[in-house]
Structure 1
Amino acid sequence: MDFKEIIKYDDLISVLDNFSYITGISANFLTADNQWVENKKKGTCGFCMLMKQYYQNGEACRNSDLAGAQTAQKKKGVHVYRCHMGLVKAVIPLFFNNSYIGALFIGQILLEPPTEEKWQEVFEKIKDQPLDIEAARRSFFNLTHIDHEKLQSVLDMMHIVAKYILDSEMIRISSLSSIEKIIEYIKNHYMEDITLDDLAKMVYLSPTYLSYLFKKQLGITFKEYLINIRLKKSKELIETTDLPIGEISKMVGIEDQNYFSRLFKKKFGVSPLNYKKDKYIYDISKKNANT
């Protein structure tokens, strides 16, 4: 699922832009599947753009952001941290029905004016990298810096913005549409190894909440639904082909033929082998009746 299907993209951009305009600090949103929604008025600072382009191919920056988001997700609250270059960032996770749906980031900032001493620390890290050192130096000294008191005010605003994003339903997660998408996926991929965790990631829900929705909407569990689909397809294959039972079992995603036979008999009251025999006898009788 494209993250734009569940995010009111233009509205979210507007909120990020306004936050950045008021505070002078960049604000961006990282979706649950790690796609960025970036503000347009104050994007990534020049220093960070250089680091992402030329320092370890941006890998250190990506790892730092993902680690920050993961920590905030585990804490279920705001997380303030320093990136690998010593810049301060803050992240607050957003949850919908106990499911993590993304994180609001602010930064990159300094909590003190940039100094030659701090620059030397950065220089030691980047001196062997293929980047313009002088451009990096200029951009470092242009970094936004705020004191701890202002940082706390910005964090308070972050909470307000996060609440507004959720309350105004900028993150659109429809329970019904989520189940519909999953049902369609199962119908097309029932023969594959499908797990609840994989499906939950597809619709940005936790496995626990998705399991609850499935039972609520369909009256049966995800596992029961998947088995029913597989058994229905296997019955159709027995009726329309002469394939061996073991092959049919594997074709519908059940590797263990004995397990498949038990499920089939429980569902239809007859083993797949006897069903195949009965179908053969019926076909012969029908053929003789027509001759």
Structure 2
Amino acid sequence: MKRKEGWLLLAVFETTELQVLLRDFYELTGIRTVVFDAWGEDILSYPQERPEFCRLIRSTPAGSEACRSCDRNACRMACRQMEAIVYPCHAGLIEVIAPIRAGGATVGYLLLSHIVQGADEEAEWEQVKKCCAPYGIPETLLHSAYTGLTRTPYRILQSAADLLMLAANAMYQARLARLAPDSIQARLSRFLEQHLHEDLSGERICREFGISRTSLYHLSKEMFGCGISDYISRLRIQTAASLLTSGSLTNAEICRRVGIRDYNYFFRLFRRQMGMTPREYRRKYASDARSLPGASDDSTAVEEMKSSHAPV
């Protein structure tokens, strides 16, 4: 997650309010919580001081580099999957990471760190000892630091992971994290939303922002976790899903509204991404499906009957 020259200012974080959030999270769970920026750099944490176990690992060059690499890989994974992920760290502990998103872009990450379940102390310690063997730390020191870590039962870990994802999503709504207004990331996000109904080829976007296709690819991967074409398809379907449950437009009208000219293609893409047809989605998620003129529209049903026979 290397920083690109000229793209350094991606997001603005309200650190005072965030510090309160991290403190509250720690008081509820007993787990150290960290905020990373978009490039996987630690910018805020509570408690601020790392536990003795982590300091011991980072005191060795190999352990310190492994920690940084582990953090960067976790950030990439969370950006790509766009959800909270529970994973083992390089030292044998458990961590949870969730992406912080603003304007469609991943601008940072929330991390729950240094977790030990304590369900099987002997087996878990053996795993930690095996993972940390390359760092040459005396076993007595390592074990002493390990026993000082808080134990977090699985049920609490799962609840903490759910809360972490909710907190990460709420940060944008509460404006605790937002795209820097003049950053290329913010401008790209606005451009895609404002021109979603138009042709959004890579060539057009490159011309608009004066960047190469390679630069656009790397920018898209850093912001959205995927290539620009994949993100545009995802944004179109997400917008279509919102329109299906918040108005009376027909499916064909929504298709055109989100910039897809071929209804059969829209139908297949929607079903592939959402796991159901547009009509099924409208019926399931509309606040009052029966009151929506398009919900039981015969022409919509005919459209979907035709599309359902098109190859996926």
Contact 1:3 1:31 in 2 (8 A): no
Unmatched 5+ stretches in structure 2: 1-6, 188-209, 233-312
- For 1:120 and 1:200, the matched residues in 2 are separated by 41
For 1:39, which of 41, 45, 48 is the aligned residue? 45
Q: Which amino acid aligns with 2:50?
A: T
Counterpart of 2:57 in 1: which secondary structure?
helix
Contact 1:20 1:42 in 2 (8 A): no
Are residues 114 and 136 of structure 1, via their aligned partners in 2, closer, same or farther at CA, if it must alter by over 3 Å?
farther
Q: Which has the larger radius of gyration?
A: 1
Are residues 197 and 83 of structure 1, via their aligned partners in 2, closer, same or farther at CA, if it must alter by over 3 Å?
same
Summarize deviations over 1:30-87 as a string: whole Å, max 9, x none: 1112221232426432212211222614122222222222112111111111112221
For 1:69, which of 72, 75, 86 is the aligned residue? 75
Counterpart of 2:179 in 1: which secondary structure?
coil
Contact 2:171 2:177 in 1 (8 A): yes
Pair 1:148 & 2:175 matched: no
Are residues 143 and 181 of structure 1, via their aligned partners in 2, closer, same or farther at CA, if it must alter by over 3 Å?
closer
- For 2:61 and 2:78, the matched residues in 1 are separated by 25
Deviation, 1:150, is: 1.2
Pair 1:166 & 2:187 matched: no
Pair 1:59 & 2:65 matched: yes
Q: Which amino acid aligns with 2:146?
A: F
Contact 1:52 1:61 in 2 (8 A): yes
Pair 1:93 & 2:99 matched: yes
State the partner residue of 2:240. none
Pair 1:48 & 2:63 matched: no
- For 1:136 and 1:114, the matched residues in 2 are separated by 18
For 1:115, which of 98, 102, 121 is the aligned residue? 121
State the partner residue of 1:102. 108
Pair 1:129 & 2:135 matched: yes
Contact 1:114 1:143 in 2 (8 A): no
Pair 1:178 & 2:197 matched: no
Deviation, 1:99, is: 1.3
Counterpart of 1:6 in 2: which secondary structure?
strand
Are residues 19 and 201 of structure 1, via their aligned partners in 2, closer, same or farther at CA, if it must alter by over 3 Å?
same
- For 1:36 and 1:4, the matched residues in 2 are separated by 15
Q: Which amino acid aligns with 2:58?
A: K
- Whose RCO is larger (CA < 8 A, sep 6+)? 2
- For 1:55 and 1:141, the matched residues in 2 are separated by 23
Are residues 72 and 129 of structure 1, via their aligned partners in 2, closer, same or farther at CA, if it must alter by over 3 Å?
closer
For 1:16, which of 22, 44, 59 is the aligned residue? 22
Counterpart of 2:98 in 1: which secondary structure?
strand
- For 2:133 and 2:94, the matched residues in 1 are separated by 22
State the partner residue of 2:290. none
- For 2:156 and 2:131, the matched residues in 1 are separated by 29
Unmatched 5+ stretches in structure 1: 183-189, 213-291
- For 2:39 and 2:20, the matched residues in 1 are separated by 21
Deviation, 1:158, is: 1.0
Pair 1:138 & 2:144 matched: yes
Number of residue pairs aligned between Structure 1 and Structure 2: 204
More helix as a share of residues? 1
Deviation, 1:27, is: 0.6
Cα RMSD, aligned residues only:
3.7
Pairing 1:224-263 to 2, within 5 Å after superposition: none
- For 2:162 and 2:186, the matched residues in 1 are separated by 37
TM-score w.r.t. the length of structure 2 is 0.54
- For 1:180 and 1:201, the matched residues in 2 are separated by 11
Contact 2:9 2:180 in 1 (8 A): no
Pairing 1:204-283 to 2, within 5 Å after superposition: 208=228
Contact 1:114 1:141 in 2 (8 A): no
State the partner residue of 2:304. none
Deviation, 1:138, is: 0.7
Counterpart of 1:85 in 2: which secondary structure?
coil
TM-score w.r.t. the length of structure 1 is 0.57
Summarize deviations over 1:253-284 as a string: whole Å, max 9, x none: xxxxxxxxxxxxxxxxxxxxxxxxxxxxxxxx
Q: Which amino acid aligns with 2:161?
A: L
Question: Percent identity among equivalent residues?
Answer: 21
Deviation, 1:111, is: 1.8
- For 2:180 and 2:135, the matched residues in 1 are separated by 47
Q: Which amino acid aligns with 2:183?
A: S
